[in-house]
Amino acid sequence: MKSLDEVVEFHGHICPGLVLGYRVSLLALKEFGERAEDEELVAIVENDSCAVDAVQVMTGSTFGKGNLIFRDYGKQVYTFIKRPSGEGLRISIIWESPSETEEEKKMWERYMVGERSEGVLKAVHNRKSRKIDAILHAGDEKLFSLAKGKMDLPEEAEIYPSIRCSICGEKVMEPRARIKNGKIVCIPCQEVT
Ligand SMILES: [Zn+2]
Ligand SMILES: [Zn+2]
């Protein structure tokens, strides 16, 4: 299993979102076993936050393999479905960050309007560390609401032939090609009038 260090290395920094994605992934792996080498585990993510990087590294459901599906709903929901059985686990984040003191709120507001003094930076750093720590140590029941069962499997990633755009000459996979004035074009060329 990949470590949190490996997740941080991929993402570039540690942050509360990433750590949430790490916890989501640990639970998915506990349920479904190993990291996906091919497309045997599908992840449907309903946001494009830092958490999704953790999901990709940990579960092997990745953008490039086509077994990571992004639905732009802006929700903290992650659904994992095993192929070919269709057994699924829907993980919804219910976690609330720890309440803050008036002083902490004030420091955060000063940061948000652009202040970068030593005191403000330290307070912001501590706030982030506390969140990360809380997420790493919270019980699953504090973090997640779960639903299990058979779920609809999205189609497996397909490989399409490439054809050439008649305007820019670059290759484009067939289902994305368009016809403009009777000629085959790519989407960027179609959009240029
Ligand atoms: Zn991040
Ligand atoms: Zn083109």
Q: How far is the CA of 179 from the centre of ligand 2 (A)?
A: 11
Place of tokens 């997740």: 7
**Structure confidence at residue 37 (pLDDT):** 84
User: What is the pTM assigned to this prediction?
Assistant: 0.86
Judged on CB neighbours under 10 Å (0-12, 13-18, 19+), 87 is middle
Distance, CA 15 to ligand 1 centroid (Å)?
Answer: 5
Q: Which residues surround ligand 2, an ion (CB under 5 A)?
A: 165, 167-168, 186, 189
CB of 150 closer than 8 Å to CB of 86: yes
Single out the residue of 21, 30, 24 nearest to residue 1, CA to CA. Answer: 30
Q: How far is the CA of 37 from the centre of ligand 1 (A)?
A: 25
**What's the pLDDT score for residue 193?**
64
Q: What angle do CA 95, 142, 22 make, to 5 degrees?
A: 70
Please identify every stretch of the chain with a pLDDT value under 70, giving residue numbers as ranges: 193
DSSP 98: P
Residue 164 CA to ligand 2 centre (angstroms): 8
Q: Which tokens belong to 71?
A: 């639905």
- Alpha carbons 79 and 180: distance in angstroms, whole number: 39
The pLDDT score that the predictor gives to residue 61 is 96
Report which of 83, 60, 47, 86 is spatially closest to residue 1, judged by C-alpha positions. 60
